[in-house]
């Protein structure tokens, strides 16, 4: 994990692809995409199993390493209606029972609009974009707003690093002056290369570490 200052607050970037806000014991997670592989399989497209287990295992690790008491999902918690497969719901439901003391908040994203809210017995508070949490505005879309610093997801940011005739694309945390974009947390998600401007803070996840690549 590695620390930086965003909107006057210390935040901690975790190798699990989550952002921790120590003052409020809050984890921010973007683009969880629960059940994405299951949705593809329901459409007859062969996909690997185990992605939901990977998601909840890394989320449990992030909570354990930080002592977080709240998790804020920055949109796209569920991938689609077809994500609500029995095995997917059983895996997340079992995880939720073990972490019942942790408050969960979902800021609805575009996939949540079509997939619908999570099961009521998971006890997840669902809110619309623009929720104010101290100096932060919890959003799904990375769009600047008045009244706070936006934390968002949606675009699954990555940067391409080159050297010695080779290049690699790595997921990243990207903090511009008014908007911070988190990497996609989901195990079965793609990424889009972004082009940070001079002065932006960028941190990649590589080989289980968070590494600063310039600001």
Q: Considering the chain, what percentage of its residues have pLDDT values greater than 70?
A: 83
Element (H, E) at 36: helix 36-42
Measure the CA–CA gap between 129 and 141, rounded to whole angstroms.
Answer: 8
Flag the least confident range among 64-68, 81-85, 139-143, 144-148. 81-85
Asked whether 78 and 111 are in contact (CB, 8 A), the reply is yes
Question: Is pLDDT above 90 for 66?
Answer: yes
The predicted structure's pLDDT at residue 84: 56
Percent with pLDDT over 90 in the chain:
58
Which of 54-68, 94-108, 190-204 shows the lowest per-residue confidence on average (mean pLDDT)?
A: 190-204
pLDDT at 85: 62
Instruction: Report domain extents, the chain.
Output: 2-212
Q: What is the mean pLDDT of residues 114-119?
A: 78
pLDDT confidence of 109, banded at 50, 70, 90?
confident
Q: What is the pLDDT of residue 45?
A: 43
pLDDT in tens, 158-210: 988 776 667 788 999 999 999 999 999 986 566 678 888 888 999 999 888 99
Identify the pLDDT of residue 89: 86
Pick the CATH number of 2-212 from 1.20.1260, 3.60.21, 1.10.3470, 3.40.50: 3.60.21
| CA–CA gap between residue 59 and residue 66 (Å, rounded) | 11
pLDDT over 70 (residue 35)? no
Instruction: Say how far apart CA 159 and CA 14 lie, in whole Å.
Output: 17
pLDDT for 38: 52
Angle at 125 between CA 119 and CA 130, to 5 degrees: 130
Find the mean pLDDT for residues 115-123.
Answer: 85
Beta carbons of 208 and 15 less than 8 angstroms apart: yes
| pLDDT (0 to 100) of residue 43 | 44
CA distance 124 to 117: 9
Q: Please count the helices (runs of H) and the strands (runs of E) in the chain.
A: 4, 16
DSSP state of 78: B
The pLDDT-based confidence of 83 (bands split at 50, 70, 90) is very low
Average pLDDT over residues 104-133: 87
Q: Taking 50 as the threshold, does the pLDDT of residue 82 lie above it?
A: no
Q: What average pLDDT does the chain have?
A: 86
Please, how many CA atoms are within 13 Å of residue 91, restricted to the half-sphere of its CB? 19
């Amino acid at each position: 994990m590695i620390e930086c200052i965003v909107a006057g607050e210390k935040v901690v970037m975790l190798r699990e692809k989550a952002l921790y806000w120590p003052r409020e014991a809050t984890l921010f997670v973007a683009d969880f995409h629960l059940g994405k592989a299951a949705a593809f399989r329901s459409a007859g497209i062969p996909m690997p199993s185990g992605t939901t287990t990977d998601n909840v295992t890394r989320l449990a690790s992030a909570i354990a390493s930080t002592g977080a008491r709240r998790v804020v999902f920055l949109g796209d918690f569920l991938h689609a209606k077809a994500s609500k497969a029995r095995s997917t719901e059983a895996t997340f439901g079992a995880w939720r029972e073990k972490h019942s003391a942790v408050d969960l908040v979902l800021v609805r994203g575009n996939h949540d609009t079509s997939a619908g809210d999570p099961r009521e017995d998971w006890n997840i508070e669902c809110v619309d974009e623009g929720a104010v949490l101290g100096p932060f505005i919890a959003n799904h879309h990375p769009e600047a707003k008045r009244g706070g610093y936006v934390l968002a997801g949606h675009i699954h940011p990555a940067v391409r690093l080159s050297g010695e005739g080779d290049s690699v694309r790595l997921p990243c945390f990207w903090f511009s002056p008014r908007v911070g974009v988190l990497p996609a947390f989901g195990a079965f998600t793609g990424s889009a290369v972004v082009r940070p401007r001079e002065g932006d803070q960028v941190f990649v996840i590589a080989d289980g570490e968070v590494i600063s690549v310039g600001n």
